[in-house]
Amino acid sequence: MPEKACKLCRRIVKGNICPACKTTELSKNWKGILVVVDPESEIAKVAGIAAPGRYAVKVK
């Protein structure tokens, strides 16, 4: 199954539900992977990401 990205938080999700948002609003149409190890880092702050994980750069 191809990985999908959550339309709300952009987290890359395996399966049909986002573990963070508990939403099924997932998109197969996403681009780029942003890996956040430290949510306190500048890149995570700029991207608006508050939890470690893998995120899509763009979700349509």
Task: Name the site residues for Zn ion (rule: CB under 5 A).
Answer: 6, 8-9, 11, 18, 20-21
The least distance separating Zn ion from the CB of residue 26, rounded to whole angstroms, comes to 8
Strands (E), 1-60: 4-6, 12-13, 26-27, 30-36, 53-59
Least separation in angstroms between residue 57's CB and Zn ion is: 15
For Zn ion, the closer CB: 1 or 11: 11
Q: How far is the CB of 13 from Zn ion (least distance, A)?
A: 7
- Tell me which residue of 45, 46, 7 sits closest to 27, measured CA to CA: 7
